[in-house]
Chain A
Amino acid sequence: MASIKLQLLLFWVSVGFCFGGTFFFVSCLTFKKENFLKYAVLLSYLAFLPLTAALADRWIQTGHFPYWGVYEVFSSYAWGALLFYLIVQLRKPNLKIAGTVVLPAVMLMIGVAVMNSAEMKEIPKTFFTYWLGIHILFAKLSYGSVLISAALALSYLIKSKQEEKGDVSPLMAKLPDIEKIDHWSYQFAAFAFVMLGIMIASGAVWAYKAWGRYWNWDPIETWALISWLVYGLYLHLRITLGWKGKRASWLALFAVFLVVFAFFGVPLISDSVHEHLKYTR
């Protein structure tokens, strides 16, 4: 019980930092205060620390990687997305502004996690397989990349609109040119397509080993397939039919909506074999 209290405390501290970071990111864009960006990124790092500590404590408490139940799933996805963002902005400092999308999403995910039951449940034996580990790893990577891709698509739309008006904010002006942003958005979407594909394939192998059927038109797996098809469509339109710029950015934003819905919306409205995503209070 004490352990859960500690985790909740750490999660709330992380939410606090995320809130602060989101405030600075949004202020940075809205009030064109460029120096706010460094505070926003600093707060992102600060949010990562208690989040990591809380998940480590949960891992010790349960004896397994936190993936079972909404409490563990959402908090670990939040961790994965934040880690992905921190790595990306280290490698490509121009992408720091992507935190405007990633940080509120992380805050929201931790918020949903702590609102759900932290009770430890017995995990079916079929879940103890390395295929599940692969499935979860690629799910987290895909989630991080779709968020970044969406953030870049959004940045493209904002910057291109500002350029059309001839009034580009200092922060947007610091971003690379819109062709580059568009290209990065495409690269992250392509990465998401690969990660989603491997996630679906490894999930299929696991399901076949556990139940003898690799595909069951289960709501979550079907929505994941729909998301993958939409990313496939995006890549096809881009590579073979030359879709770029605004049209591609809107499609990338639509695709991220589908991914978020597949992961977190579907368990709200449908029963699924993905028991670990079931919402409980």
Chain B
Amino acid sequence: MGGRNYLFLLWNLLKSKRLAAVLILLLAVVATIGMVRPETEIFQTRWFAGLGIVFFTNLTSCTVQQIINSYRLWSKSGSLIKTGNNVKISTSLDIDGGGPKYRLRVKGRIGIWGAAVFHIGLILITVGAFVSGTMKMSGYIRVAEGETRYELHHDYEGVEEGPFFDESRHSGIGLVLRKQNIILDKSGDVDEIISDIAIIDNGRAVRTASLGEKEPVIYRGIRIFQKKAGFAPFLEITGPGNVKIANTNILLETDSSGEKARFYLDRLPLPNTPYILNIRFYPDMVHQGNEVTTTRYTLSNPGADITVLDEEQVVGEKIVRPGESMEFAGYRLKMGSIKHWAGFDIVNDMGANWVFAGSGVAVCGLALIYLFKKRSLLDNGQH
């Protein structure tokens, strides 16, 4: 058998609709397994990617064949259409040498292209999904008021990069949190937190925006979402001989899962000392019996319950307010002003637009199929 015959066989296999049905079934079964046994992480496996590649090849081959078939049908002349009880023929005039030649146009012939267009949409979606799966980057950055963080690999607190996402693809744009506004509802609870940010590109502020929960800011295809917010008290810690140990804003964790939000930081090591700090922060500190708590998010009466541990031994504990200090084992900790911080999810997904464009094309294909149905004289409504 010649090479051409092998190619012909391969082409027939690839454009096989039976293979398409088998692959659709396989995808459904694999997705079901992925749901029933999530621990297998099936969607991250190589063979799932392999199945995707086979599916894509089959889809593309079928679509190419479909385009060829649609073109053949499109260019074929002479069909009659039935509209209601009357036969209606519209014509287009083709001049062909000796005289006029009539071509009978089928109303709704454009519908012939519907299935091909729909499948082209599916191809675009698959390409987009592949680009997203291999080249997407998403990361999390926290920025305190007045600070700047850069969209660079090492500035992220957590970052996920697709296997083909090169670190050099990070944009390097700067993100400044200029101010944070807390909007309260009628009952005094937080309704929304709005962060006023500036984007720095090539050393200059190119964009300012107010970023809330609802909409991201988009710059150079990078989407910036505000995800979390919290407090960052300034701590100045000096050791024996007035040596500065720390002199910075500490970004506390925010836990909003319970009824009341908690602001804390556990096991913060003090550099070059055996000590670690546990901080419980209260933006609006209230004493309820022996318990210290906070009822509101606003910084009306801020204070922090700070515990200093040496190994597991408590060597100092005090409630400290801004401007106040505490001493432990020859060290001095002073709390300064309190800033807000915002945590941003930053996403760079080049595949998303392909997916959405593909969805749009697929919907157009479906519209062609359903709005321009092909009908012929033989059609009894059950084609």
Instruction: Give chain A's interface residues, CB within 8 Å of chain B.
Output: 124-126, 128-129, 179-180, 183, 194, 197-198, 201, 204-205, 208-215, 217, 219, 222-223, 225-226, 229-230, 232-233, 236-237, 240-241, 270
Q: How far is the CA of A139 from the CA of B356 in the complex (A)?
A: 19
A233 cross-chain contacts in B, Cβ below 8 A: 21, 24-25, 28
Say whether B145 faces chain A, with CB atoms less than 8 Å apart. no
| Interchain CB contact under 8 A, A212 and B223 | yes
| Interchain CB contact under 8 A, A219 and B35 | yes
A125 cross-chain contacts in B, Cβ below 8 A: 192, 212-214
Given contacts A179-B382, A217-B43, contact A209 B215 (CB under 8 A): yes
Q: Look across to chain A and name the residue whose beta carbon is closest to the beta carbon of B192.
A: A125
Q: Look across to chain B and name the residue whose beta carbon is closest to the beta carbon of A243.
A: B21
A-B contact pairs, 9 of them (CB 8 A): A179-B382, A183-B382, A197-B362, A208-B352, A211-B225, A212-B349, A213-B349, A214-B356, A236-B24
Q: How far is the CB of B42 from chain A (nearest CB, A)?
A: 9
Interface size in chain B (residues, C-beta < 8 A) = 36
Q: How far is the CB of A2 from chain B (nearest CB, A)?
A: 22
| Binary interface encoding of chain B residues 344-383 relative to chain A, with 1 for a CB under 8 A from any of its CBs, else 0 | 0101010010011001001100100010000000000010
| Interchain CB contact under 8 A, B212 and A211 | no
B132 cross-chain contacts in A, Cβ below 8 A: 214-215
| Interchain CB contact under 8 A, A222 and B17 | no
Classify the interface of chain B: helix, strand, loop or mixed.
helix
| Binary interface encoding of chain B residues 23-61 relative to chain A, with 1 for a CB under 8 A from any of its CBs, else 0 | 011011001101100000001000000000000000000
B17, B31, B138, B359: which contacts A213 (Cβ < 8 A)?
Answer: B138
| Binary interface encoding of chain B residues 239-275 relative to chain A, with 1 for a CB under 8 A from any of its CBs, else 0 | 0000000000000000000000000000000000000
Q: How far is the CB of A119 from chain B (nearest CB, A)?
A: 15
Q: How far is the CA of A230 from the CA of B28 in the complex (A)?
A: 7
Q: How far is the CA of A180 from the CA of B363 in the complex (A)?
A: 27
| Interchain CB contact under 8 A, A240 and B17 | yes
Q: How far is the CA of A128 from the CA of B223 in the complex (A)?
A: 19
A198 cross-chain contacts in B, Cβ below 8 A: 363
| Interchain CB contact under 8 A, A241 and B138 | no
Q: Look across to chain B and name the residue whose beta carbon is closest to the beta carbon of A200.
A: B359
B345 cross-chain contacts in A, Cβ below 8 A: 211-212
A208, A209, A217: which contacts B34 (Cβ < 8 A)?
Answer: A217
Q: How far is the CA of A24 from the CA of B132 in the complex (A)?
A: 53
Q: How far is the CA of A183 from the CA of B28 in the complex (A)?
A: 25
| Interchain CB contact under 8 A, B352 and A126 | no
A230 cross-chain contacts in B, Cβ below 8 A: 28
Q: How far is the CA of A225 from the CA of B24 in the complex (A)?
A: 11
B352 cross-chain contacts in A, Cβ below 8 A: 208, 214
Q: How far is the CB of B162 from chain A (nearest CB, A)?
A: 13
A270 cross-chain contacts in B, Cβ below 8 A: 35
